[in-house]
Structure 1
Protein backbone atom coordinates (compact mmCIF):
# COMPACT_ATOMS: atom_id res chain seq x y z
CA UNK A 1 0.00 0.00 0.00
CA UNK A 2 1.14 3.54 -0.78
CA UNK A 3 0.66 6.92 0.89
CA UNK A 4 0.60 10.17 -1.08
CA UNK A 5 2.22 12.42 1.50
CA UNK A 6 1.44 15.67 -0.34
CA UNK A 7 -1.37 16.48 -2.76
CA UNK A 8 -3.81 19.31 -3.45
CA UNK A 9 -7.10 17.54 -4.07
CA UNK A 10 -8.96 20.86 -4.15
CA UNK A 11 -6.84 22.00 -7.11
CA UNK A 12 -7.35 18.94 -9.32
CA UNK A 13 -9.61 19.81 -12.26
CA UNK A 14 -10.83 16.22 -12.50
CA UNK A 15 -12.02 16.54 -8.90
CA UNK A 16 -13.82 19.86 -9.28
CA UNK A 17 -17.14 18.39 -8.07
CA UNK A 18 -18.16 15.58 -5.71
CA UNK A 19 -18.46 12.98 -8.47
CA UNK A 20 -15.08 13.92 -9.90
CA UNK A 21 -13.42 13.74 -6.50
CA UNK A 22 -14.84 10.27 -5.89
CA UNK A 23 -13.48 9.17 -9.27
CA UNK A 24 -10.01 10.47 -8.40
CA UNK A 25 -10.18 8.66 -5.07
CA UNK A 26 -11.35 5.49 -6.80
CA UNK A 27 -8.33 5.72 -9.10
CA UNK A 28 -6.13 6.05 -6.03
CA UNK A 29 -7.70 3.03 -4.38
CA UNK A 30 -7.21 0.97 -7.55
CA UNK A 31 -3.53 1.94 -7.48
CA UNK A 32 -3.31 0.76 -3.83
CA UNK A 33 -3.02 4.24 -2.35
CA UNK A 34 -4.06 3.87 1.27
CA UNK A 35 -3.93 7.46 2.47
CA UNK A 36 -3.50 11.01 1.18
CA UNK A 37 -2.49 14.26 2.84
CA UNK A 38 -4.35 17.21 1.31
CA UNK A 39 -2.21 20.30 1.77
CA UNK A 40 -3.45 23.85 2.26
CA UNK A 41 -1.75 26.78 0.50
CA UNK A 42 -3.70 29.80 1.84
CA UNK A 43 -5.57 30.23 5.10
CA UNK A 44 -8.53 31.70 3.22
CA UNK A 45 -8.98 28.41 1.35
CA UNK A 46 -8.66 26.08 4.33
CA UNK A 47 -12.32 25.87 5.35
CA UNK A 48 -13.51 24.99 1.85
CA UNK A 49 -10.67 22.54 1.29
CA UNK A 50 -11.30 20.77 4.57
CA UNK A 51 -15.04 20.56 3.98
CA UNK A 52 -14.54 18.92 0.57
CA UNK A 53 -12.60 16.00 2.01
CA UNK A 54 -14.07 15.74 5.52
CA UNK A 55 -16.16 12.65 4.76
CA UNK A 56 -13.18 10.57 3.68
CA UNK A 57 -11.32 8.84 6.50
CA UNK A 58 -8.32 8.16 4.27
CA UNK A 59 -7.61 11.86 3.69
CA UNK A 60 -5.81 14.02 6.23
CA UNK A 61 -5.36 17.78 5.96
CA UNK A 62 -2.75 20.42 6.75
CA UNK A 63 -3.11 24.16 7.34
CA UNK A 64 -0.68 26.85 6.26
CA UNK A 65 0.27 29.70 3.94
CA UNK A 66 2.52 28.88 0.98
CA UNK A 67 5.43 31.33 0.56
CA UNK A 68 4.40 32.21 -2.99
CA UNK A 69 0.96 33.33 -1.78
CA UNK A 70 1.96 35.23 1.36
CA UNK A 71 2.67 38.57 -0.34
CA UNK A 72 -0.78 38.60 -1.95
CA UNK A 73 -2.88 36.97 0.74
CA UNK A 74 -0.95 37.91 3.87
CA UNK A 75 -0.26 35.88 6.99
CA UNK A 76 -2.42 35.88 10.12
CA UNK A 77 -0.71 34.13 13.01
CA UNK A 78 -3.80 33.99 15.21
CA UNK A 79 -5.92 32.54 12.43
CA UNK A 80 -3.25 29.95 11.65
CA UNK A 81 -3.05 28.97 15.31
CA UNK A 82 -6.83 28.67 15.54
CA UNK A 83 -7.21 26.57 12.39
CA UNK A 84 -4.12 24.42 12.95
CA UNK A 85 -5.30 23.58 16.47
CA UNK A 86 -8.18 21.54 15.07
CA UNK A 87 -7.76 17.81 15.64
CA UNK A 88 -8.29 16.99 11.96
CA UNK A 89 -5.22 19.09 11.04
CA UNK A 90 -2.18 16.81 11.16
CA UNK A 91 0.48 19.29 10.00
CA UNK A 92 1.37 22.98 9.70
CA UNK A 93 2.08 24.13 6.16
CA UNK A 94 2.88 24.22 3.54
CA UNK A 95 5.21 27.04 4.48
CA UNK A 96 8.81 27.93 3.74
CA UNK A 97 10.80 30.10 1.36
CA UNK A 98 10.87 30.43 -2.42
CA UNK A 99 13.49 32.82 -3.79
CA UNK A 100 13.42 31.19 -7.22
CA UNK A 101 9.95 32.42 -8.20
CA UNK A 102 9.63 35.33 -5.77
CA UNK A 103 12.92 36.93 -4.79
CA UNK A 104 11.26 40.30 -4.21
CA UNK A 105 9.28 39.32 -1.12
CA UNK A 106 11.90 37.56 0.98
CA UNK A 107 11.20 39.44 4.20
CA UNK A 108 7.49 38.69 4.38
CA UNK A 109 8.23 35.07 3.46
CA UNK A 110 10.73 34.84 6.33
CA UNK A 111 8.29 36.38 8.81
CA UNK A 112 5.50 34.03 7.79
CA UNK A 113 7.80 31.01 7.83
CA UNK A 114 9.17 31.78 11.29
CA UNK A 115 5.63 32.21 12.56
CA UNK A 116 4.61 28.83 11.15
CA UNK A 117 7.58 27.19 12.86
CA UNK A 118 6.67 28.74 16.21
CA UNK A 119 3.08 27.57 15.96
CA UNK A 120 4.05 24.06 14.83
CA UNK A 121 6.37 23.70 17.82
CA UNK A 122 3.69 25.09 20.13
CA UNK A 123 1.06 22.66 18.82
CA UNK A 124 3.53 19.77 18.41
CA UNK A 125 2.49 19.20 14.81
CA UNK A 126 5.00 18.53 12.02
CA UNK A 127 5.93 21.13 9.43
CA UNK A 128 5.53 20.81 5.65
CA UNK A 129 8.29 22.88 4.06
CA UNK A 130 8.48 24.30 0.54
CA UNK A 131 12.02 25.45 -0.22
CA UNK A 132 13.44 26.68 -3.50
CA UNK A 133 16.75 28.50 -3.99
CA UNK A 134 16.76 29.43 -0.29
CA UNK A 135 18.74 26.67 1.38
CA UNK A 136 20.68 28.67 3.96
CA UNK A 137 17.74 30.79 5.12
CA UNK A 138 15.42 27.79 5.25
CA UNK A 139 17.75 25.80 7.48
CA UNK A 140 18.54 28.85 9.62
CA UNK A 141 14.89 29.58 10.37
CA UNK A 142 14.21 25.94 11.16
CA UNK A 143 17.18 25.82 13.52
CA UNK A 144 16.29 29.11 15.22
CA UNK A 145 12.73 27.96 15.72
CA UNK A 146 13.79 24.60 17.22
CA UNK A 147 11.88 22.75 14.52
CA UNK A 148 13.40 19.45 15.63
CA UNK A 149 10.89 19.57 18.49
CA UNK A 150 7.96 19.02 16.13
CA UNK A 151 9.68 17.47 13.11
CA UNK A 152 8.70 17.92 9.52
CA UNK A 153 9.42 17.28 5.86
CA UNK A 154 11.14 19.10 3.03
CA UNK A 155 8.51 18.39 0.40
CA UNK A 156 8.93 18.00 -3.36
CA UNK A 157 12.67 18.11 -2.75
CA UNK A 158 14.91 19.48 -5.50
CA UNK A 159 17.75 21.03 -3.53
CA UNK A 160 21.20 19.66 -2.67
CA UNK A 161 22.09 16.43 -0.89
CA UNK A 162 23.98 18.52 1.66
CA UNK A 163 20.80 20.38 2.57
CA UNK A 164 18.86 17.13 2.89
CA UNK A 165 21.56 15.64 5.11
CA UNK A 166 21.58 18.67 7.41
CA UNK A 167 17.77 18.56 7.69
CA UNK A 168 17.89 14.87 8.58
CA UNK A 169 20.86 14.96 10.93
CA UNK A 170 20.19 18.24 12.73
CA UNK A 171 16.41 18.61 12.59
CA UNK A 172 15.19 15.00 12.43
CA UNK A 173 13.33 15.82 9.19
CA UNK A 174 12.15 13.67 6.32
CA UNK A 175 12.70 14.30 2.61
CA UNK A 176 9.77 13.89 0.22
CA UNK A 177 10.34 12.82 -3.36
CA UNK A 178 7.92 13.77 -6.14
CA UNK A 179 7.57 12.89 -9.80
CA UNK A 180 10.36 15.33 -10.60
CA UNK A 181 12.82 12.53 -9.80
CA UNK A 182 11.55 10.64 -12.85
CA UNK A 183 12.18 13.52 -15.26
CA UNK A 184 14.94 13.07 -17.82
CA UNK A 185 16.80 16.19 -16.65
CA UNK A 186 16.73 15.26 -12.93
CA UNK A 187 20.00 13.30 -12.80
CA UNK A 188 21.34 15.23 -9.79
CA UNK A 189 18.13 14.68 -7.85
CA UNK A 190 18.24 10.95 -8.57
CA UNK A 191 21.80 10.89 -7.25
CA UNK A 192 20.51 12.52 -4.06
CA UNK A 193 17.70 9.96 -3.78
CA UNK A 194 20.25 7.18 -4.14
CA UNK A 195 22.23 8.55 -1.18
CA UNK A 196 19.29 9.22 1.13
CA UNK A 197 18.37 6.57 3.74
CA UNK A 198 15.02 5.02 2.82
CA UNK A 199 13.95 5.43 6.45
CA UNK A 200 13.91 9.20 5.86
CA UNK A 201 12.10 9.28 2.51
CA UNK A 202 8.45 10.06 1.81
CA UNK A 203 6.79 9.92 -1.61
CA UNK A 204 4.24 12.35 -3.00
CA UNK A 205 2.53 13.56 -6.15
CA UNK A 206 2.06 17.28 -5.39
CA UNK A 207 -0.93 16.80 -7.67
CA UNK A 208 -2.30 18.32 -9.81
CA UNK A 209 1.23 19.32 -10.83
CA UNK A 210 4.40 17.43 -11.74
CA UNK A 211 2.96 14.20 -13.11
CA UNK A 212 5.69 11.54 -13.12
CA UNK A 213 6.87 9.45 -16.03
CA UNK A 214 4.96 7.83 -17.77
CA UNK A 215 2.18 10.39 -17.22
CA UNK A 216 4.05 13.53 -18.30
CA UNK A 217 1.69 16.08 -19.85
CA UNK A 218 -1.32 14.81 -17.88
CA UNK A 219 -2.90 16.32 -14.81
CA UNK A 220 -1.34 14.63 -11.81
CA UNK A 221 -3.40 12.69 -9.26
CA UNK A 222 -2.71 10.59 -6.14
CA UNK A 223 -2.88 7.31 -8.08
CA UNK A 224 0.39 8.26 -9.74
CA UNK A 225 2.30 8.10 -6.45
CA UNK A 226 2.88 4.45 -7.33
CA UNK A 227 5.02 5.64 -10.24
CA UNK A 228 7.04 7.86 -7.91
CA UNK A 229 7.61 4.81 -5.72
CA UNK A 230 8.81 2.85 -8.76
CA UNK A 231 11.27 5.61 -9.60
CA UNK A 232 12.69 5.52 -6.06
CA UNK A 233 12.91 1.73 -6.17
CA UNK A 234 14.74 1.80 -9.50
CA UNK A 235 17.17 4.49 -8.35
CA UNK A 236 17.98 2.69 -5.10
CA UNK A 237 17.94 -0.78 -6.71
CA UNK A 238 15.47 -2.17 -4.19
CA UNK A 239 12.02 -3.68 -4.51
CA UNK A 240 8.89 -1.64 -5.05
CA UNK A 241 7.32 -3.44 -2.09
CA UNK A 242 10.11 -2.21 0.19
CA UNK A 243 9.68 1.39 -0.94
CA UNK A 244 5.92 1.17 -0.42
CA UNK A 245 6.21 -0.33 3.06
CA UNK A 246 8.97 1.89 4.42
CA UNK A 247 7.64 5.18 3.03
CA UNK A 248 4.18 4.27 4.33
CA UNK A 249 5.58 3.67 7.81
CA UNK A 250 7.62 6.87 7.61
CA UNK A 251 4.46 8.85 6.85
CA UNK A 252 2.58 7.63 9.90
CA UNK A 253 5.63 8.10 12.10
CA UNK A 254 5.91 11.75 11.06
CA UNK A 255 2.24 12.68 10.73
CA UNK A 256 1.16 11.33 14.07
CA UNK A 257 -2.43 12.52 13.71
CA UNK A 258 -3.05 10.49 10.55
CA UNK A 259 -4.55 7.03 10.91
CA UNK A 260 -3.96 4.07 8.58
CA UNK A 261 -7.08 3.26 6.60
CA UNK A 262 -7.66 0.10 4.62
CA UNK A 263 -8.54 0.64 0.93
Structure 2
Protein backbone atom coordinates (compact mmCIF):
# COMPACT_ATOMS: atom_id res chain seq x y z
CA UNK A 1 0.00 0.00 0.00
CA UNK A 2 1.12 3.52 -0.84
CA UNK A 3 -0.25 6.91 0.16
CA UNK A 4 0.01 10.12 -1.84
CA UNK A 5 0.30 12.48 1.10
CA UNK A 6 0.06 15.64 -1.00
CA UNK A 7 -1.78 16.29 -4.25
CA UNK A 8 -4.20 18.88 -5.61
CA UNK A 9 -7.12 16.94 -7.01
CA UNK A 10 -9.32 20.05 -7.09
CA UNK A 11 -7.13 21.74 -9.70
CA UNK A 12 -8.68 22.15 -13.17
CA UNK A 13 -5.94 19.94 -14.67
CA UNK A 14 -8.00 16.96 -13.45
CA UNK A 15 -11.53 18.13 -14.27
CA UNK A 16 -11.90 16.01 -17.40
CA UNK A 17 -10.96 12.65 -15.83
CA UNK A 18 -10.86 12.86 -12.05
CA UNK A 19 -12.61 9.51 -11.57
CA UNK A 20 -10.16 7.80 -13.91
CA UNK A 21 -7.15 9.35 -12.19
CA UNK A 22 -8.29 8.13 -8.80
CA UNK A 23 -8.94 4.69 -10.27
CA UNK A 24 -5.43 4.59 -11.79
CA UNK A 25 -3.98 5.45 -8.41
CA UNK A 26 -5.67 2.42 -6.90
CA UNK A 27 -4.36 0.21 -9.68
CA UNK A 28 -0.83 1.42 -8.87
CA UNK A 29 -1.27 0.52 -5.19
CA UNK A 30 -1.94 4.09 -4.05
CA UNK A 31 -4.89 3.47 -1.74
CA UNK A 32 -5.18 6.89 -0.06
CA UNK A 33 -4.69 10.48 -1.19
CA UNK A 34 -4.72 13.80 0.64
CA UNK A 35 -5.82 16.71 -1.53
CA UNK A 36 -4.25 19.83 -0.12
CA UNK A 37 -5.90 23.20 0.31
CA UNK A 38 -4.14 26.23 -1.15
CA UNK A 39 -6.85 28.79 -0.33
CA UNK A 40 -9.28 28.88 2.56
CA UNK A 41 -11.57 30.71 0.15
CA UNK A 42 -11.90 27.45 -1.83
CA UNK A 43 -12.25 25.13 1.13
CA UNK A 44 -15.85 24.20 0.30
CA UNK A 45 -14.66 22.78 -3.03
CA UNK A 46 -11.85 20.82 -1.38
CA UNK A 47 -14.17 19.42 1.28
CA UNK A 48 -16.81 18.39 -1.27
CA UNK A 49 -14.19 16.52 -3.28
CA UNK A 50 -12.99 14.63 -0.20
CA UNK A 51 -16.59 13.78 0.69
CA UNK A 52 -17.16 12.35 -2.79
CA UNK A 53 -14.36 9.76 -2.62
CA UNK A 54 -13.90 7.33 0.27
CA UNK A 55 -10.13 7.18 -0.23
CA UNK A 56 -9.54 10.95 -0.47
CA UNK A 57 -8.95 13.19 2.53
CA UNK A 58 -8.13 16.88 2.64
CA UNK A 59 -6.55 19.76 4.51
CA UNK A 60 -7.58 23.34 5.23
CA UNK A 61 -5.25 26.27 4.79
CA UNK A 62 -3.70 28.84 2.50
CA UNK A 63 -0.52 28.55 0.43
CA UNK A 64 2.08 31.30 0.96
CA UNK A 65 1.42 32.53 -2.59
CA UNK A 66 -2.09 33.44 -1.39
CA UNK A 67 -1.15 34.74 2.06
CA UNK A 68 -2.14 38.27 1.08
CA UNK A 69 -5.63 37.08 0.17
CA UNK A 70 -5.95 35.33 3.52
CA UNK A 71 -4.93 38.51 5.31
CA UNK A 72 -7.56 40.48 3.39
CA UNK A 73 -10.19 37.92 4.36
CA UNK A 74 -9.07 38.27 7.99
CA UNK A 75 -8.77 34.49 8.35
CA UNK A 76 -7.91 33.66 11.96
CA UNK A 77 -6.53 30.65 13.77
CA UNK A 78 -10.03 30.10 15.16
CA UNK A 79 -11.37 29.95 11.60
CA UNK A 80 -8.84 27.28 10.68
CA UNK A 81 -9.67 25.28 13.79
CA UNK A 82 -13.41 25.53 13.13
CA UNK A 83 -13.12 24.42 9.51
CA UNK A 84 -10.78 21.57 10.44
CA UNK A 85 -13.47 19.92 12.58
CA UNK A 86 -14.87 18.11 9.52
CA UNK A 87 -14.08 14.40 9.65
CA UNK A 88 -12.42 14.41 6.23
CA UNK A 89 -9.96 17.15 7.20
CA UNK A 90 -6.73 15.48 8.32
CA UNK A 91 -4.21 18.34 8.13
CA UNK A 92 -3.68 22.09 8.34
CA UNK A 93 -2.13 23.96 5.41
CA UNK A 94 -0.33 24.10 3.20
CA UNK A 95 1.28 27.21 4.62
CA UNK A 96 4.82 28.48 4.73
CA UNK A 97 7.38 30.71 3.07
CA UNK A 98 8.14 30.99 -0.63
CA UNK A 99 10.92 33.47 -1.42
CA UNK A 100 11.47 32.05 -4.91
CA UNK A 101 8.30 33.57 -6.37
CA UNK A 102 7.52 36.09 -3.60
CA UNK A 103 3.90 36.32 -4.72
CA UNK A 104 2.80 37.64 -1.33
CA UNK A 105 4.56 40.04 1.07
CA UNK A 106 6.99 38.11 3.24
CA UNK A 107 5.42 39.56 6.37
CA UNK A 108 2.04 38.16 5.30
CA UNK A 109 3.59 34.76 4.58
CA UNK A 110 5.20 34.62 8.02
CA UNK A 111 2.05 35.77 9.80
CA UNK A 112 0.00 33.18 7.92
CA UNK A 113 2.48 30.45 8.77
CA UNK A 114 2.28 31.31 12.46
CA UNK A 115 -1.54 31.22 12.37
CA UNK A 116 -1.43 27.79 10.79
CA UNK A 117 1.11 26.58 13.36
CA UNK A 118 -1.20 27.72 16.13
CA UNK A 119 -4.08 25.82 14.51
CA UNK A 120 -1.95 22.67 14.24
CA UNK A 121 -0.93 23.01 17.88
CA UNK A 122 -4.54 23.50 18.97
CA UNK A 123 -6.07 20.68 16.90
CA UNK A 124 -3.23 18.16 16.92
CA UNK A 125 -3.52 17.91 13.13
CA UNK A 126 -0.25 18.00 11.19
CA UNK A 127 0.79 21.22 9.52
CA UNK A 128 1.80 20.81 5.88
CA UNK A 129 4.71 23.21 5.39
CA UNK A 130 5.74 24.75 2.07
CA UNK A 131 9.29 26.13 2.13
CA UNK A 132 11.23 27.37 -0.90
CA UNK A 133 14.40 29.47 -0.85
CA UNK A 134 13.61 30.46 2.74
CA UNK A 135 15.63 27.97 4.79
CA UNK A 136 17.00 30.35 7.44
CA UNK A 137 13.72 32.15 8.13
CA UNK A 138 11.79 28.87 8.13
CA UNK A 139 14.18 27.26 10.60
CA UNK A 140 14.01 30.32 12.86
CA UNK A 141 10.19 30.36 12.89
CA UNK A 142 9.98 26.62 13.52
CA UNK A 143 12.38 26.91 16.46
CA UNK A 144 10.55 29.91 17.92
CA UNK A 145 7.14 28.29 17.59
CA UNK A 146 8.29 24.94 18.97
CA UNK A 147 9.48 26.74 22.09
CA UNK A 148 5.88 27.93 22.56
CA UNK A 149 4.62 24.35 22.36
CA UNK A 150 5.17 21.35 20.13
CA UNK A 151 3.02 20.78 17.04
CA UNK A 152 2.95 18.00 14.42
CA UNK A 153 4.26 19.05 11.02
CA UNK A 154 5.63 17.93 7.69
CA UNK A 155 8.14 19.62 5.40
CA UNK A 156 6.38 18.79 2.16
CA UNK A 157 7.93 18.39 -1.31
CA UNK A 158 11.34 18.78 0.26
CA UNK A 159 13.91 20.48 -1.96
CA UNK A 160 15.67 22.66 0.60
CA UNK A 161 19.09 22.30 2.15
CA UNK A 162 20.46 19.70 4.55
CA UNK A 163 20.40 22.06 7.52
CA UNK A 164 16.64 22.66 7.27
CA UNK A 165 16.00 18.92 6.94
CA UNK A 166 18.04 18.19 10.05
CA UNK A 167 16.40 21.05 11.94
CA UNK A 168 13.00 19.61 11.06
CA UNK A 169 13.99 16.16 12.29
CA UNK A 170 15.45 17.65 15.47
CA UNK A 171 12.15 19.43 16.17
CA UNK A 172 10.10 16.28 15.60
CA UNK A 173 8.89 16.99 12.07
CA UNK A 174 8.54 14.63 9.13
CA UNK A 175 9.95 15.15 5.63
CA UNK A 176 8.14 14.29 2.40
CA UNK A 177 9.78 13.72 -0.97
CA UNK A 178 8.16 14.30 -4.34
CA UNK A 179 9.17 13.50 -7.90
CA UNK A 180 12.06 15.95 -7.56
CA UNK A 181 14.05 13.23 -5.77
CA UNK A 182 13.94 11.18 -9.00
CA UNK A 183 15.43 13.90 -11.23
CA UNK A 184 18.85 13.18 -12.72
CA UNK A 185 20.45 16.24 -11.14
CA UNK A 186 18.99 15.65 -7.67
CA UNK A 187 22.05 13.88 -6.25
CA UNK A 188 22.30 16.35 -3.37
CA UNK A 189 18.64 15.84 -2.49
CA UNK A 190 19.04 12.05 -2.58
CA UNK A 191 22.04 12.39 -0.27
CA UNK A 192 19.86 14.27 2.21
CA UNK A 193 17.14 11.61 1.95
CA UNK A 194 19.73 8.88 2.56
CA UNK A 195 20.81 10.61 5.77
CA UNK A 196 17.35 11.11 7.28
CA UNK A 197 15.76 8.46 9.50
CA UNK A 198 13.39 6.19 7.57
CA UNK A 199 10.71 6.54 10.23
CA UNK A 200 10.29 10.25 9.37
CA UNK A 201 9.89 9.98 5.60
CA UNK A 202 6.79 10.26 3.43
CA UNK A 203 6.18 10.29 -0.32
CA UNK A 204 3.93 12.53 -2.38
CA UNK A 205 3.29 13.75 -5.89
CA UNK A 206 2.29 17.42 -5.47
CA UNK A 207 0.22 16.60 -8.56
CA UNK A 208 -0.42 18.04 -11.08
CA UNK A 209 3.14 19.35 -10.68
CA UNK A 210 6.60 17.72 -10.56
CA UNK A 211 6.01 14.40 -12.28
CA UNK A 212 8.87 11.95 -11.56
CA UNK A 213 11.60 11.32 -14.09
CA UNK A 214 9.82 8.97 -16.56
CA UNK A 215 7.04 11.54 -16.97
CA UNK A 216 8.95 14.73 -16.21
CA UNK A 217 7.39 17.73 -17.93
CA UNK A 218 3.99 16.07 -18.17
CA UNK A 219 1.01 16.33 -15.85
CA UNK A 220 1.63 14.46 -12.61
CA UNK A 221 -0.98 12.26 -10.95
CA UNK A 222 -1.20 10.21 -7.72
CA UNK A 223 -0.38 6.88 -9.40
CA UNK A 224 3.13 8.16 -10.09
CA UNK A 225 4.00 8.26 -6.38
CA UNK A 226 4.92 4.59 -6.83
CA UNK A 227 7.96 5.63 -8.85
CA UNK A 228 9.04 8.17 -6.24
CA UNK A 229 8.77 5.40 -3.65
CA UNK A 230 10.97 3.20 -5.86
CA UNK A 231 13.74 5.80 -6.10
CA UNK A 232 13.51 6.62 -2.40
CA UNK A 233 13.82 2.90 -1.62
CA UNK A 234 16.96 2.66 -3.75
CA UNK A 235 18.32 5.74 -1.99
CA UNK A 236 17.72 4.22 1.43
CA UNK A 237 18.91 0.74 0.47
CA UNK A 238 15.48 -0.81 1.01
CA UNK A 239 13.14 -2.82 -1.16
CA UNK A 240 10.17 -1.03 -2.70
CA UNK A 241 7.84 -3.03 -0.44
CA UNK A 242 9.82 -2.10 2.68
CA UNK A 243 9.83 1.57 1.71
CA UNK A 244 6.09 1.49 1.02
CA UNK A 245 5.39 -0.10 4.39
CA UNK A 246 7.58 2.44 6.15
CA UNK A 247 6.19 5.56 4.47
CA UNK A 248 2.63 4.32 4.93
CA UNK A 249 3.20 3.62 8.62
CA UNK A 250 4.73 7.08 8.95
CA UNK A 251 1.72 8.61 7.23
CA UNK A 252 -0.75 7.02 9.63
CA UNK A 253 1.38 8.03 12.62
CA UNK A 254 1.45 11.67 11.52
CA UNK A 255 -2.01 11.97 9.94
CA UNK A 256 -3.64 10.52 13.02
CA UNK A 257 -7.21 11.42 12.08
CA UNK A 258 -7.19 9.06 9.11
CA UNK A 259 -8.95 5.88 10.30
CA UNK A 260 -6.33 3.25 11.14
CA UNK A 261 -8.43 0.42 9.76
CA UNK A 262 -7.67 1.77 6.28
CA UNK A 263 -4.03 0.82 6.78
CA UNK A 264 -4.99 -2.81 7.34
CA UNK A 265 -7.45 -2.77 4.47
CA UNK A 266 -4.75 -1.46 2.19
Same fold (TM over 0.5): yes
1:104 Cα deviation after fit = 6.5
1:54 is matched with which residue? 51
1:225 is matched with which residue? 225
The alignment partner of 2:231 has SS state of helix
Scaled by the length of structure 1, what TM-score is found?
0.93
1:80 is matched with which residue? 80
Asked if the contact 1:148/1:173 (under 8 Å) is kept, the reply is: no
Q: Closer, same or farther in 2 for the Cα pair 1:57/1:188, shift >3 Å?
A: same
Q: Which structure 2 residues correspond to residues 30-109 of structure 1 after superposition, within 5 A?
A: 30-74=27-71, 76-77=75-76, 78-102=78-102, 105-109=105-109
1:113 is matched with which residue? 113
The alignment partner of 1:176 has SS state of strand
In the alignment, the residues of structure 2 paired with residue 83 and residue 221 of structure 1 have an alpha-carbon distance, to the nearest angstrom, of: 27
Q: Which structure 2 residues correspond to residues 1-263 of structure 1 after superposition, within 5 A?
A: 1-11=1-11, 13=13, 15-17=14-16, 20-74=17-71, 76-77=75-76, 78-102=78-102, 105-146=105-146, 149-169=150-170, 171-259=171-259, 260=262, 262=265
Q: Deviations over 1:165-203 (max 9, x none)?
A: 11111x211000000011122111111111111111000
Scaled by the length of structure 2, what TM-score is found?
0.92
In the alignment, the residues of structure 2 paired with residue 85 and residue 111 of structure 1 have an alpha-carbon distance, to the nearest angstrom, of: 22
Asked if the contact 2:64/2:104 (under 8 Å) is kept, the reply is: no
In the alignment, the residues of structure 2 paired with residue 139 and residue 25 of structure 1 have an alpha-carbon distance, to the nearest angstrom, of: 35
The alignment partner of 1:54 has SS state of helix
The alignment partner of 2:130 has SS state of strand
Moved over 6 A (4+): none
1:148 Cα deviation after fit = 6.4
Q: Identify the range of structure 1 (203-212 vs 143-152) with the bigger mean alpha-carbon deviation.
A: 143-152
Asked if the contact 1:148/1:172 (under 8 Å) is kept, the reply is: no
CA-based RMSD: 1.7
1:149 Cα deviation after fit = 2.5
Asked if the contact 2:10/2:46 (under 8 Å) is kept, the reply is: yes
Name structure 2 gaps, 5 residues minimum: none
Q: How many residues align?
A: 259
Asked if the contact 2:4/2:222 (under 8 Å) is kept, the reply is: yes
Q: Deviations over 1:72-124 (max 9, x none)?
A: 45351143232123232111100011111107611111111111111111111
In the alignment, the residues of structure 1 paired with residue 9 and residue 57 of structure 2 have an alpha-carbon distance, to the nearest angstrom, of: 11
1:242 Cα deviation after fit = 0.7
Asked if the contact 2:180/2:210 (under 8 Å) is kept, the reply is: yes
